[in-house]
Amino acid sequence: MSATFPLRILRSAARALAAGSLVIGALPALAQGGFVPPERISGSSPSLDASFTQEAWLVYTYTVGENGNVADATIQSSNGIPSVDTHMLNQIQAMRFTPATRNGTPVEVPAGPVVYTWILDIPRAMSPAYNTTYEQAWEKFRAGDYDGAFDLAAQLKEMPGRNAYEDVKFQILAASIASRWDDPATEMQHLKRVMEFQNLADRNRFKHPYVEPEHYALMLARVHTLQLDNNQLADAQATFNQIMMRGSGDELIQKVQSAQQAAQARFLANPDVATRGELTPLYRGGPGAWETRLTRDNFNLQQVRGDISWVYLACLGNEQQLPYPSSRPWTVPAGWKECKVEISGRAGTRFELHQLK
């Protein structure tokens, strides 16, 4: 017997010996309609330890059966280190749960996708083979052969055992190609992956950055521009705050601050501000997800092209699943602050999030 229920992406960070890990997992939403989610009773959350001296990241899924055992544990994607994949699978399969129930009856439920990232504070370098292909891709890019650069970037992405620095280089290359193809959603997706690596390194106070500070400041400024262009005012403010905290140059700060203030004035003058969204998958063939911070308390979805499974409101200390589809705009409950909307459904689904005055 099986059941379907909303899955929500939760983010947390953990520190380890000389390394950092970022776990992005999908867990059941609050119990609804007589549904009680599974609860782990034995086994630990899958992770690596200091014995693993290679950087690694992977996406996995599994199912919690009616008996509480784990089934169908699958590594959906990884950077191709077999020992890591095997280690994580063994830990996933060792977990035991009290089974999920619906109206008191045990049911089988899917869990995931979960993204696990393990990075080390080591000197940053690319392997000779990776560097050769990487430089060839940039040669084609500079020559205006973006299709050729894309083909080589695809080869870089599939190279097994690549380290996080190599993946950062790939993401920057892919973002640059997307910018030339006027695809801001894809460009943003790649730049956010770079931010995940660098921000995790910053939180763990690594000595070796993935992107040099002056280059990272320019990249954050580009992210800020993309966010403002898409009317993501609150996200842009968060990016601006990060630029300020990093102590970027005065000229860059003034430029970004001026753009933020102008966008805020336009936002406030418009009673209906639309933000474009697209659900992107964590792994090939998987469900898609998208999120953005809110500036206003009233909002809805319009122009949906595809399938949306659920809409979630997550605020500081409060969260709830929103009814979807809804004939009326949603309203942030009184007193809820620093809210964002999280949406999941079929990958490739496009829509507009409208924030209403």
Q: What is the pLDDT of residues 121-138, one digit of tens each?
A: 999 999 999 999 999 999
- The pLDDT assigned to 249 comes to 79
End-of-domain residue from the set 243, 269, 295: 269
Measure the CA–CA gap between 16 and 198, rounded to whole angstroms.
16
Number of domains within the chain: 3
Same domain, 221 and 140: yes
* Segment 228-244, tens digit of pLDDT: 999 999 999 999 999 99
The CATH number for 218's domain is 1.25.40.10
80: Cβ–Cβ under 8 A, 6 or more apart, which residues? 159, 160, 161, 162
Q: What is the pLDDT of residues 313-350, one digit of tens each?
A: 999 999 999 999 999 999 999 999 999 999 999 999 99
Same domain as 167, residue 108: no
The domain in which residue 16 lies consists of 7-120
Task: Report which residue type is found at 320.
Answer: Q
Residue 112 lies in a domain: yes
The least confident of 24-33, 158-167, 212-221 is: 24-33
Domain boundary among 269, 297, 330: 269
Looking at the structure, do residues 189 and 251 belong to the same domain, yes or no?
yes
Angle at 191 between CA 188 and CA 194, to 5 degrees: 155
Sign of CA dihedral 213, 214, 215, 218: positive
* Domain-located, residue 246: yes
CB 104 within 8 A of CB 36: no
| Domain final residue pick, 269, 294, 327 | 269
Beta strands in the chain (DSSP E): 7-16, 19-28, 35-36, 39-42, 56-64, 70-78, 96-98, 100-102, 105-107, 109-120, 272-278, 280-281, 288-293, 298-305, 308-315, 318-322, 330-331, 340-345, 350-356
Sequence length of the chain is 357
Largest CA-CA distance found in the chain, in angstroms, rounded: 64
Statement to judge: residues 46 and 109 lie in one domain:
yes
Beta bridge partners of 115: 24, 59
Using one digit for the tens of pLDDT, what is the confidence trace for 55-80? Answer: 999 999 999 999 999 999 999 999 99
H or E element, residue 235: helix 233-245
